[in-house]
Structure 1
């Protein structure tokens, strides 16, 4: 049976959210049509939730209970509830079966950490813009505001005794985090361990008895893993590489580091001790390579296990359990078995030369069997972010387009992570259009791999949607069609209309309305809509809090006013992207058929 788009979209994938001390794994499965919680233990799969939309969760330590995070129709206003697992249940829990923990549907709440009997969460209920960090006693409902200093809190990690809280907020430079330390026993007692003006990431926080372990690129291009003294802020490197970005996750007992090396969109894993000394490699399927979708790996409370969300080009997505003592991994699910002998295409890796002498990372997926109508056509899929990375993971859209006969290029243009600070900073502020110019360099490269530059299209979501629209507007002679999914059509109206907490966060990357409005207007596809000559296919969620629906409506209206084909599909029960399979089955086959029609060879 061929790998058609419908069959690919119906494949079930798995994610690992948490793992208990007994090796039970709290997983997410989208078999029902949206990601729901399932517990994996002793070879059994126990469905836990059946909510209308996608959910995530964490175990509450030392109890048979799960903290469930859920929203309404993709609006991202997360609510927190408790699901008791020590009570027999005849069916998966619906919303009415959950115990409310934090319910305030007008505001956003994000689970940051779990402690015995307590949760740590961020909320913007004070003023809609800034996120406070709150510690809540699950049994009594008592709450303590641990931090209310402003900004979008990105991460938080409590010390084992609960007396201190490390957290990160955006620093002034784009793609940078300031590391703060809060004494939870003395409200208002907070110290900055890094400066607001430091251009560096500080992520994946973990506690040692004598300090913090963080992943950072302070004073270097590539991320490494460092120890930070909480008294002085002094940094000492534990594990670094001169070739790859590294990310580390510290075990709860502080004895072991799980280290990921990002090798051009794939990962190798190893276990180190707390001094950085290499202990052993982690043995994974797919010849030791994997690409992590979210969420990040999670340690068990006793530091014996790590739960992983595993994917590769030929593996839709599985939950893995790693034994830290041996480095051996066990796949708890078997998503690749659904392919029934069909082989997804694996990419070749390339470096595409650019106009200024850079080498642009790009993965190329080539069809195994030629389609005479579509042979030589190219589809470029651009990731969102822009601070993100295309990785060598399973993507049903990529595989469907390749099976149809297109060659698919998946680049990491300027602004992408995974290749060092210099590369992800290369599109900041007034350099915004440098990443769009990268699209032109990719287009110029197409003939060198046997592709027809006259039959090339763009596909992208979120910031990738902006890149699609910008390519069509600023390079109209190059592109034959575009598929825009929840993309930005005007950087000005996007910043004016996005959620207030998002505006404060995104202006660091794009520039501010107060200081940069003229440039933002110049860099907006809507400003140059008169230049667009290619047909357009637009998908958007009505409840999108990040990129408002108006961004799709205004570009569609402007393109149609030119007499060009533009299909706009809006989904009333979605937010920033399509989380529900029923909607994906409606949207993506239509988009794939649209590209086949416009990229086919003319008779």
Structure 2
């Protein structure tokens, strides 16, 4: 018997999702779980017991202070992404989850962003845009005195930072003004020096310092198409781990003596532990049909690996770094209802041909075999956000809910997606934007080869994926039966004019600038082509979204109302860029799936 679609979507959306943030010296794991309704801190003890640490109004994350029963908590207000930092003392247990009143403010500046970057035994490292609202400075704050020192203020959007073992230098990764490119610099007593070329079109990510602090370990596609793990010492580049056909991601142990490296192949990760010089030490005994995240213990002796697969919402494993042997800490599949556990859909990996000779990687999830025959042949194309992002083969509750209802789900990595090399992710930069939109038409033309009905296919996407939904509906009228837009962009011009100041330069490097590319931005905006749109639309948006303002949803809704085209708009007042709270997800996505089924079901 097939699962009831409405019951299935509720069950899938209520599954607790897990992640890991840190490990302390006693083997306790600082994890995150959204079982309370949004992502909150949970401590996993070595004996397997679990203690919920926080009950905050918004999702949070955190890090242990090494050697102390103290947690640095990162939290915002209502999804506004203006992260604040507070301390939670675990030395005197409360006997209940901590509320905001139980936290000691550490960095309290609610008008600005203050994301946590690193924690040492004596200090926290964070970035902030308080200087001019745009550029991110890197600040070291002494935990004992509260004294702060700015160690990096060279401009740009900071995405990561690591402290050297001797505590004298900080390696900072920042975005540059070139599409999907970053630069790494090291700041110390002698000032700041660039490790990479700020003018290079390449992705570099600092993983930390070598064990002797003489070099920096990076994930980088410098002078290559795919990312490899490299060491840069005094300007000399040494390759540590590479795969000529695939990207390699990495996590350097805090002592600088071990590297966890994941080779990313068609949306899944193959994980191994390597010596500091790149030699393979051992494979890691975790499932290889999904994606992983890694958190190292301070001594480098163990790591926590988070695995997410199409059939696994995200399990946690404690791994011995010497042998690769894994012990299951959290089995997320235990929360799956028995009638769903064995019927979750696993995708085929296919390539969709395009008229210009490209091949779009696509994961095709089949529907439940006994689902409603009225939905046989109907499909949903789910487009990821970004655009410089990827759709991995991981657990997606709505993907599984759609399959349970009887829909075939296609998850493409259209041109511009990461994970398939620099050439592929560069094929949608600025004036090439509409080539990515054209991939949607190629996917639509490909549907009959999969036995799918072209007249009953729906577009679904969030953020940039929402832009793609709106672009497909307006620029390819007549192809798509309907669309679901989650926090999407309806006009590239008004989006860039109204997004947060700190994001504008970051987004302009990908889409084009208002000063130099306005005519193109107008031409590439869905709202410009609204007169051609005929398909109905379902829109979901957070009122506090600092990235894509609510006005992007409101203007498309108002325009479609004037045209008399069905447009449902659901706005959530306590959400930002996406839906972080389970009650809101249940309301929005249950309604959206019911609406999609109504659009494509045969009479």
User: Which residue of the partner structure matches residue 540 of structure 1?
Assistant: 541
Quote how far apart the aligned CAs of 1:369 are. Answer: 2.0
Q: Which residue of 2 aligns with 1:586?
A: 587
Residue 96, structure 1, aligned to residue 98, structure 2: no
Q: CA deviation at 1:264?
A: 0.4
Q: Contact 2:11–2:337 (CA<8 Å) still a contact in 1?
A: no
Aligned to 1:555: 556
The one of 139, 151, 157 equivalent to 1:152 is 157
Superposition map of 1:176-195 within 5 A: 176-183=181-188, 185-186=189-190, 189-195=191-197
Kindly indicate whether the alpha-carbon contact (under 8 Å) linking 1:299 and 1:307 is maintained by their aligned counterparts in 2: yes
Superposed, 1:408-557 pairs within 5 Å as 408-557=409-558
Matches within 5 A, 1:355-374: 355-367=355-367, 368-374=369-375
Find the residue that maps to 1:514 and give its secondary structure: coil
Q: Tell me the secondary structure at the aligned position of residue 470 of structure 2.
A: helix
Quick one: distance in 1 between partners of 2:58 and 2:306? 20
Tell me, yes or no, if structure 1 residue 121 matches structure 2 residue 126: yes
Q: Secondary structure at the match of 1:373?
A: helix
- Name whichever of 161-170 and 338-347 sits farther off: 338-347
Post-superposition shift, 1:72?
Answer: 0.4
Q: Does 1:216 align with 2:220?
A: yes
2:273 corresponds to:
271
Shifted more, 1-10 versus 378-387: the winner is 1-10
Q: Is the 8 A contact 1:204 1:248 kept in 2?
A: no
Written as runs of structure 1 = structure 2, the 5 A alignment for 1:156-305 is 156-183=161-188, 185-186=189-190, 189-208=191-210, 209=212, 210-229=214-233, 231=234, 233-285=235-287, 288-292=288-292, 296-305=293-302
Structure 2 residue matching 1:86: 3-state secondary structure: coil
**TM-score, reference length from structure 1:** 0.97
SS in 1 for 2:489: coil
Q: Number of residue pairs matched?
A: 592
Deviation at 1:236, TM superposition (A): 1.1
CA contact under 8 A between 2:177 and 2:506: conserved in structure 1? no
Matches within 5 A, 1:314-329: 314-329=311-326
Report Cα offsets for 1:242-294 as digits up to 9, x if no partner. Answer: 12100111112221110001010011100111111111100103xx33213xx
| SS of equivalent residue, structure 2 residue 398 | helix
How much does 1:2 deviate?
Answer: 4.4
Shift of 1:579: 0.2
SS in 1 for 2:587: helix
Corresponding residue of 2:387: 386
Structure 1: runs of 5+ lacking an equivalent? none
Cα distance in 2, alignment partners of residues 550 and 533 from structure 1 = 22
Residue number in structure 1 paired with 2:61 = 56
Instruction: Report the alpha carbon displacement of residue 13 of structure 1 after superposing the two structures with TM.
Output: 1.4
Partner of 1:576: 577
Q: Hey, what does 1:347 align to over in structure 2?
A: 347
What is the rounded CA distance, in whole Å, between the counterparts of 1:454 and 1:356 in structure 2?
24
CA distance in 2, matches of 1:248, 1:9: 30
8 Å contact from structure 2 (residues 173, 206) kept in 1: no
Residues 1:22 and 2:26 aligned together: yes
Q: Which residue of 2 aligns with 1:87?
A: 92
Secondary structure of 1:496's aligned partner: helix
**Which residue, 334, 337, 356 being the options, matches 1:337?**
334
Distance 2:247 2:332 in 1: 28
- The secondary structure found in structure 1 opposite 2:110 is coil
Q: Distance in 1 between matches of 2:497 and 2:505?
A: 11
1:35-46 matched pairs, under 5 angstroms: 35-41=39-45, 42-46=47-51
CA RMSD of aligned residues (A): 1.1
Which sits farther off after the overlay, 539-548 or 240-249?
240-249
Q: Secondary structure at the match of 1:515?
A: coil
2:143 corresponds in structure 1 to 138
- Structure 2 CA distance, aligned partners of 1:62 and 1:90? 22
Contact kept in structure 1, 2:87 and 2:105, CA below 8 Å: yes
Q: Deviations over 1:508-549 (max 9, x none)?
A: 111100000010000000111111100000000000000000
Q: Aligned equivalents of 2:510 and 2:551: distance in 1? A: 21
- Whole-Å Cα distance in 2 between the matches of residues 325 and 194 of structure 1? 32
- Superposed displacement of residue 204, structure 1: 4.1
Q: Distance in 2 between matches of 1:523 and 1:223?
A: 30
CA distance in 2, matches of 1:39, 1:549: 36
Q: Deviations over 1:557-594 (max 9, x none)?
A: 11111101000010000000000001011100110011
Structure 2: how far apart are the matches of 1:351 and 1:508? 29
SS in 1 for 2:157: coil
Kept after mapping to 1: 8 A contact 2:171/2:206: no
Q: Secondary structure at the match of 2:517?
A: helix
Residue 430 of structure 1 aligns to a residue whose secondary structure is helix
Q: Give the aligned partner of residue 16 of structure 2.
A: 12
Give the SS at the match of 2:400.
helix
Tell me the TM-score normalized by structure 2.
Answer: 0.97
Counterpart CA distance in 2 for 1:316 and 1:369 is: 23
SS of residue paired to 2:30: strand
Cα distance in structure 1, aligned partners of 2:99 and 2:152: 33
Secondary structure at the aligned position of 2:115 is classed as strand
Q: How big is each residue's C-alpha offset from its partner over 1:294-329, in whole Å with a ceiling of 9 and x where there is no partner?
A: xx4121110011122221111111222111011012
- For the 8 Å contact 2:547–2:577, the answer to whether it is kept is yes
Distance 1:84 1:66 in 2: 7
SS at match of 1:537: strand
SS in 2 for 1:454: helix
